[in-house]
Amino acid sequence: MAENRSPHILSTSANLLGICFIVLTSLKKLALTDGSLIDEFAVAAVMFFMTSCILSFISMRRQKTTSQRLEKTADIVFLSGLVILFIATILIAFNLIK
């Protein structure tokens, strides 16, 4: 791997993590969590994005061999978080979850 993607993964994951926190806070403040799966999807996304942030941060601090493995793992975890957000968005768009 010639390029270092860890800073990009870290910044993007942190941004999406903040958005998920805003969604969770809004749902709690508006009392919209009863009978809804949106908050469960948001919590799952928070877990994936936080894990991605931690792994990418650690990969920037490690030796090259360990760093590449951590970066690849952070990349996969980040993509999983994106998939969770995509699925939640599609379900909301088609009114399958409220």
Q: Which residue has the higher pLDDT, 23 or 85?
A: 85
- Do 68 and 1 meet the contact criterion of CB atoms below 8 Å apart? yes
Nearest 5°: phi and psi at 97?
-130, 150
Q: Is residue 96 very low, low, confident or very high in pLDDT (cuts 50, 70, 90)? A: low
Domain ranges, ordered by start, for the chain:
6-93
Q: Which pTM does this prediction carry?
A: 0.83
- Do 16 and 63 meet the contact criterion of CB atoms below 8 Å apart? no
CA-wise closest residue to 1 among 73, 65, 55 = 65
pLDDT at position 35: 57
- The pLDDT tens digits for 68-95 are 899 999 999 999 999 999 988 888 777 7
| Average pLDDT, integer, range 47-68 | 90
